Amino acid sequence: MEEGKRQRQVAGVLQEEMNDIFRRLGFNMMNGGMVSISSVKVTPDLLEARIYISFFQVKDIEAAMKKIDDRSWEIKKELSDRVKHQLRRMPVLHFYLDDTLEHVFKMEDLFQKLNEEDAQRKGEAGANEEKA
């Protein structure tokens, strides 16, 4: 089902405010890495928000997620203070790990290995043709 206009608006507001809250509470830098809100998805009834968190070079992702979950009440309170005039009800927040960045790095490594193997094969094929 396609996301509605109001869903996109609410998700955009929540993402913008959550990024600001993360900066203010010091969540944007953890364990030597960066943390950001990659996307927010809101249910059609606007009562639940799925917040996808992206980690870059964070050593212990599980500990970072636990820290965010432990302080989720503080995040929700701050967020509700900021959006109370824009929303009738504050959505329930669910935090999820967004691992698309890891997949991108894995894919880049695979492509690099394939290119190196291809270059080796071409080099070997060229050497074999010269001998013949």
Contact 50, 14 (CB under 8 A): no
Alpha carbon distance 73, 79 (integer Å): 10
Which pLDDT does position 132 carry in this prediction? 55
In the chain, where the domains are located: 5-98, 100-132
Dmax (CA) for the chain in angstroms is 80
CA atoms within 13 A on the CB side of 59: 3
Which pLDDT does position 43 carry in this prediction? 92
* pLDDT in single tens digits along all 132 residues of the chain: 577 899 999 999 999 999 999 888 888 787 778 888 889 999 999 999 999 998 888 888 888 889 889 988 999 999 999 998 888 889 999 999 887 767 777 888 888 888 888 888 887 776 666 665
Give 88-92 contacts, CB < 8 A, sequence gap 24+. 89/46, 89/47, 91/10, 91/14, 91/42, 91/43, 91/46, 91/47, 91/48, 91/49, 92/47, 92/48, 92/49
Which pLDDT does position 129 carry in this prediction? 65
Which pLDDT does position 130 carry in this prediction? 63
Which pLDDT does position 131 carry in this prediction? 62
CATH architecture of 5-98: 2-Layer Sandwich (3.30)
